Amino acid sequence: MVKAIEWKDNKVIMLDQSRLPLEVEFIECTDYQMVAEGIKKLWIRGAPAIGIAAAMGIAIGARDIKAGSYDDFMERLEPIMQTMLSTRPTAVNIKWAVERIKKLLSTKRDESVSSLKKILIDEAKKILEEDIEINKAIGRWGAEFIKDGDTILTHCNAGSLATGGYGTATAPMLIAKEQGKNIQVIADETRPVLQGARLTSWELMQAGIPVTLITDNTAGALMKKGVIDLAIVGTDRTTRNGDVANKIGTYTVAVLCKEHNIPFYVAAPISSIDFNMNSGELIPIEERHSEEVTTIWGHRVAPEGVNVINLAFDVTPAKYVTAFFTEKGAFRPQDIKKIMREDVDIESIRIR
């Protein structure tokens, strides 16, 4: 399994995914500004992975803070956390990581500054380790919905490269393969930066899972032919009503699945669910630079001066989602808001 990110020798090591699959290059981030740059420039991407990166960025930034007290340390840490929050606004995992760190530090007021720095490093490593176990659990629940012989459509990349390891949308595929199920995957290329072509197809080939690459606008034709049995995608943010923000084009896939009576599943670690946001209409949608659309790997494919809309994400309403695969089980969209409530019996709302 390729590691997208790790903490090693007091550095944050990132696999530069912008160069895959032609080059496999790891970047050593020695300060939090480099980590933030890596998130912005898509050296690392995928909601869980950038949450991990944000935690590690905060830890490496804290390492260089000179402070004599807890309050002084926290005051100097705040702009580092704000830098992480500003990198990619749509994915909730960065916010989740920052809030988790703030909550942890609020219980450590009596610790020395040197101890606080170590606590942050240990917590960042813990978030990475937890993510891998969460993804395996998502895989076990999701694999229950994959039958022997199924062909699965996926969009963008929600594999080990997008997480601490194992992936979210790809985890059920990996588990299904381990269970001996004969499956195939169809990967959308995912314009404009081709995460499906460059990353998902590469990952699945590394894992020995048969994968076929298609252009984004081929999916509907294959559904009409009866080629696709189910779709599994990831999510950058899910709201409490079950609306899903994911890579641009996900909404199109969901609508096509609905039209052709194909199950549309979302692999959603609980850290990617925003229980404080009521609907997808409130999710801030990142718009990226026009050059991602007008050029392909530095080669211009559009006329100079053309107007461009380059939305990084779209929102799929809950009515198009068949079920969510989480580490706590599989749930219908209307039950997402219940899964963290102490008065709810999780088993009673799980689906199989």
Distance CA 98, CA 85 (A): 8
Catalytic, 343? Answer: no
Handedness of CA 28, 84, 51, 185 (dihedral sign): negative
Amino acid, res. 43: W
In sequence order, which residues have a C-beta less than 8 Å from that of residue 258 and are 6 or more positions away?
264, 320
Choice among 31, 150, 229, 236 that is catalytic: 236
Distance CA 300, CA 79 (A): 37
Helices (H), the chain: 32-40, 47-63, 70-85, 92-106, 113-143, 171-178, 195, 201-206, 219-224, 250-259, 291-294, 346-349
Distance CA 63, CA 59 (A): 6
What's the residue count for the chain? Answer: 352
Positions annotated as catalytic residues are 236
